[in-house]
């Protein structure tokens, strides 16, 4: 796995053990970011960050800042190692080791706003997260913000926000929602 493009393009990323996460492939990330277009200056939130590849790709392509949330201890260590090897530090990037729901609640309480949110929960969890996540996410979206969901095509992540794009890559379903 590597950073596809931008200032960190071509740099290698570590990946957590496959039983913990399923990292978004280079091909899917490349297509996703081509669909998203310019992201310079955006504030990014990457929930269920796994390896951190989505947020790191966003930073490499010009995002102003990123918050990565991951509760798995092993995956969090991999994210920290990836950030360190790429020289990404606070205040540009922040790693929260904890539950996505609690991170959303804290962000809402602190009146944080994000321009781009990546929501890629474990494939067996999307149905449980949809409504609760949508309510909390709605409170932290900046004007014209987008939310990218990644799920198994057989169990789509339903989010109660207008969908502006949908792409399928094998069993992976990517949906882009806009505020």
Predicted confidence at residue 125, as pLDDT, reads 60
Least confident range from 6-10, 22-26, 86-90: namely 22-26
Give pLDDT tens digits for 52-61. Answer: 999 999 999 9
Cα separation, 13 vs 1, whole angstroms: 5
Residue 163: the pLDDT is 95
Sign of CA dihedral 149, 154, 158, 163: positive
For 158-173, what is the mean pLDDT?
91
Of residues 121 and 74, more confidence is placed in 74
Domain 26-178: which CATH number of 3.90.1150.10, 3.40.50.2300, 3.40.50.150, 3.40.350.10: 3.40.50.150
Which helix or strand (DSSP H or E) is residue 147 part of? strand 141-152
Q: Which long-range contacts (CB under 8 A, 24 or more apart) does 4-8 make?
A: 4/29, 4/30, 4/33, 4/57, 4/60, 5/30, 5/33, 5/57, 5/60, 5/61, 6/57, 6/59, 6/60, 6/61, 6/62, 7/60, 7/62, 8/56, 8/59, 8/60, 8/86
Distance (Å, whole) CA 59 – CA 68: 12
Q: What is the pLDDT of residue 18?
A: 65
More confident residue, 133 or 79: 79
**pLDDT exceeding 70 applies to what percent of the chain?**
91
**What's the mean pLDDT in 64-75?**
95
Q: Is the pLDDT of residue 68 over 80?
A: yes
User: What are the domain boundaries of the chain?
Assistant: 26-178
Question: Checking DSSP bridges between strand 172-178 and strand 114-119, what pairing results, if any?
Answer: unpaired
Chain segment 96-145, per-residue pLDDT in tens? 999 888 999 999 999 999 999 999 887 666 555 656 667 789 899 999 99
Q: Please, what is the average pLDDT of the chain?
A: 90
pLDDT confidence band for 16 (50 / 70 / 90) = confident
């Amino acid at each position: 796995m590597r950073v596809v493009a931008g200032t960190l393009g071509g740099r290698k990323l570590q990946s957590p053990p496959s039983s913990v996460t399923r990292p978004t492939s280079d091909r899917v990330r490349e297509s996703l970011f081509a669909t998203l277009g310019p992201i310079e200056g955006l504030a990014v939130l990457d929930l269920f960050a796994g390896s951190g590849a989505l947020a790191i790709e966003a930073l490499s392509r010009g995002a102003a800042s990123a918050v990565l949330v991951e509760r798995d201890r092993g995956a969090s260590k991999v994210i920290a190692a990836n950030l360190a090897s790429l020289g990404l530090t606070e205040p540009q990037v922040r790693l929260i080791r904890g539950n996505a729901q609690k991170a959303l609640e804290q962000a809402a309480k602190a009146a944080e706003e994000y321009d781009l949110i990546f929501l890629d929960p474990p494939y067996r969890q999307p149905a449980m997260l949809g409504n609760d996540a949508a309510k909390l996410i709605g409170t932290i979206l900046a004007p014209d913000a987008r939310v990218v969901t990644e799920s198994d095509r057989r169990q789509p992540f339903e989010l109660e926000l207008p969908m502006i794009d949908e792409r399928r890559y094998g069993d992976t379903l990517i949906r882009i929602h806009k505020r």
